[in-house]
Amino acid sequence: MPPECQLFTTLGCHLCELAEEEIMPLVEHGLMVELIDIADSEALVDAYGLRIPVLRRLDTGAELGWPFDTEQVVAFLL
C-alpha cells in the first residue's frame, strides 16, 4: 500500500495543475493525496510559496519538488 501524501498547491497555479495530472493515475490506483492550498496559511506560503507544487510523504516527511513525472513519483513512493 502506498504511503499517504500531501500535495502543496494553490489556485491558479499552472504547474500545480500539471503536477495533479501526473499524480491522478496513481490516485486512481489507490494513492491517497490530500491537496493543501498554501494560501490558507502564512507559514505554508513562507515554506512553499516559491517551490509549489511539492509532494510530501506523511510517513517520512520526504518531499518531491516540481518538476516530476509519474515515474519519479512512483520511485519516490517506494
All structural domains of the chain:
5-77 (3.40.30.10)
How far lies 10's CA from each of 16, 30, 36, 50, 52, in Å?
7, 23, 8, 11, 8
Q: Is the pLDDT of residue 13 over 90?
A: yes
Over residues 60-69, the mean pLDDT reads 97
User: What is the overall mean pLDDT for the chain?
Assistant: 95
Q: How much is the pLDDT for 75? A: 95
The residue-averaged pLDDT of 49-73 equals 96
Q: Is the pTM of this model over 0.85?
A: yes
Burial class (CB in 10 A: 0-12, 13-18, 19+), 18: middle
Mean pLDDT of 45-63: 96
Least Cα distance to 65 among 73, 55, 50, 74 occurs for 55
Q: What is the pLDDT of residue 3?
A: 86
